[in-house]
Structure 1
């Protein structure tokens, strides 16, 4: 099934800001020019094809060798999506998952050596008794017929399980050296733990050879992470009311939450002392106020669109955010598919974009018109 998305058929010069509502915290000023509200860039018309539909809350995509995909549904099921469309029955063998509020089955990734070890990894809300849950990362071997996971085990279970069903973070990204980066949230009610160097709440973790290292701290709820062409890890995280952030992740760095933020609490009160900068804390490369409520992200390197552009899923106000970078900063921004609640984006082998739409349960293939 195909339909056209009507966009302007020109490559317009960047001169006006992207259309958006006024900021929630207008008295906050960026730390440097271009840190927010970049000029708008307009691309061309796009064509979308619906590859699958019927999922409840599609969350993560993992490309498989040969062009098919693994798709996770927050309701607790893992599926195979065929290249030409069509969704498999749920893959058997998944562990018990706590499906409540923002919890459930979250991201999915495959081992860099999948062709020989057939290992699949997933992040999920693990029930840990008395209404508490922990973020966990599971591992299992996908059977040859792709119907079952075997030898399932956890490679990480977050200590100090929480009563909160919110802010799990949960993106999984394999580094070039085979290490697994895991993003975590601060579980909303435990925000101060993002500044605790011994807690895994509000952190980027690195798992390699069974060892878990806290790579960075001071995060609120990272739901997007990707490597650029150099292998550098970038993340995009949810702020509160305003203050979603795009960050370059440096080992040992502190990204400030909840000491500094470009947003405010949902009741309109200030976060902490209401400051945006502090010594020893990193500034975001870019921030949004009002928010885009980010999901997954992608550095594009295919033949259909401009190489190096960043695509970020947006849940609210919805759509796909395209950023063009120049010398490590955001030069332009574009909003595609406004109003669609998009959770994740991935690149197909031929260069098309594969998009998960949370609001409709659809999977799209997006190409230039």
Structure 2
């Protein structure tokens, strides 16, 4: 049974309330303020529980059907139809489950209506206890309301090199607005220095053709600086990757101890990790901030204390006119849905809504509703509509 309740707007202290100068392109860290600021009237939600899944990591709606597909971190792909039927998908990859690793993102091809192509990312085991992210493409075939299969799934891109450890895979996916390119977030795998190595894909955003080959015109490749797929470098752990309505790509990443970042992703730019950060190393060892090294691209906004983001979408629906063009962020540590307006003068955090549990993934429904997946076992999938 679906459960509906009202979620009152429990606003937490806002970062940089009404201070665009520190929330814009200066790269300065934003400290949480003592005052709160109400969001737009349309940002108070009626919340409906739709289903529960174990460790959901990503969600995406199948174009044309309203069916929601959900990756579970341990390796399953499941779905929820528009009329409430639950089903599972076979033909999924074997994932390296553990730590931060497992099943990752899911995205439907821009030409899905014709191609039935689906893209997945996951943590992949290698030799000698090494691991790395992988991206695969296959075609989706549904035999019934409760069973689908991915056919001809093949890996089209791998994070290289594979390394030890189970953290910072990132592996978020985003298609260019023209549908011609696939962008993949590739985390530093907690190794730090490879983020500045142009011959590694760790700590990078890569731009690929839809078949996984490096796209032509990647600026660092054209300058013979980096591997041919590299678009930007100097990243730590990107868990939000999305285009806005003007075609600007945004990346949202975890900082170390402080310094979570929202970045305007510009081709060929170096975002500085681990040379600079608006946070410190764990244990308190300082890191030079962006203001000290202007050759690195500063964040559009950063948070200290951190928000620990799980995912991000840029809202374009009709149900919440006051949120159109805003970045909505799923907060893990903050246990909140965070609203950030992407104004021309610089992003500004507008509101936080406290859900009382860490949030992992977001999706926009075909009708403009907002879908939220909690983090962890027995996690609720929630549908938000106007109050």
Higher helix share: 2
1:322 aligns with 2:339: yes
Map of 1:197 onto structure 2: 198
| Structure-2 change in CA distance of 1:219 and 1:19 (3 Å) | closer
Report the 3-state secondary structure (helix = DSSP H, G, I; strand = E; otherwise coil) of the residue aligned with 1:204. Answer: strand
Alpha-carbon distance in structure 1 between the residues aligned to 2:152 and 2:77: 16
Map of 1:25 onto structure 2: none
TM-score, normalised on structure 1? 0.89
- CA shift digits 1:90-125 (9 cap, x unpaired): x11112211011000011101111111111111101
| Structure-2 change in CA distance of 1:30 and 1:296 (3 Å) | closer
Map of 2:49 onto structure 1: 50
Alpha-carbon distance in structure 2 between the residues aligned to 1:324 and 1:204: 23
User: 280-289 vs 298-307, which deviates more?
Assistant: 298-307
1:3 aligns with 2:5: yes
| 2:329–2:337 contact (8 Å) kept in structure 1 | yes
| 1:262–1:276 contact (8 Å) kept in structure 2 | no
Q: Which has the higher contact order (CA 8 A, sep 6+)?
A: 2
| 1:97–1:127 contact (8 Å) kept in structure 2 | yes
Map of 2:163 onto structure 1: 162
Map of 2:128 onto structure 1: 130
Alpha-carbon distance in structure 2 between the residues aligned to 1:210 and 1:31: 32
Alpha-carbon distance in structure 1 between the residues aligned to 2:168 and 2:28: 28
Within the candidate set 237, 252, 257, 2:253 is matched to 237
TM-score, normalised on structure 2? 0.85
| Structure-2 change in CA distance of 1:95 and 1:191 (3 Å) | same
1:18 aligns with 2:14: yes
Deviation at 1:339, TM superposition (A): 2.9
Q: Give structure 2 stretches of 5+ with no counterpart.
A: 17-21, 215-228
Map of 1:149 onto structure 2: 150
Map of 1:361 onto structure 2: 379
Report the 3-state secondary structure (helix = DSSP H, G, I; strand = E; otherwise coil) of the residue aligned with 1:143. Answer: strand
Q: Give structure 1 stretches of 5+ with no counterpart.
A: 21-27
Q: How many residues get paired?
A: 352
Map of 2:232 onto structure 1: 216
